[in-house]
Amino acid sequence: KAGVTQTPRYLIKTRGQQVTLSCSPISGHRSVSWYQQTPGQGLQFLFEYFSETQRNKGNFPGRFSGRQFSNSRSEMNVSTLELGDSALYLCASSLLPEDYGYTFGSGTRLTVV
What residues line the site for another protein (CB under 8 A)?
33, 35, 42-43, 45, 48, 55-56, 88, 90, 92, 97, 100-107, 109
CB of 75 or CB of 104, closer to another protein: 104
CB 82, min distance to another protein, A: 22
Strands 19-24 and 74-78: antiparallel
Look at residue 83 and give its three-state secondary structure. helix
CB of 79 or CB of 104, closer to another protein: 104
CB of 15 or CB of 96, closer to another protein: 96
Quick one: DSSP state of residue 100? S
CB 75, min distance to another protein, A: 19
CB 37, min distance to another protein, A: 8
Contact call for residues 18 and 33 (beta carbons, < 8 A): no
Handedness of CA 29, 9, 47, 66 (dihedral sign): negative
Q: Compute the distance between CA of residue 113 and CA of residue 110 in angstroms, rounded to an integer.
A: 10
CB of 31 or CB of 72, closer to another protein: 31
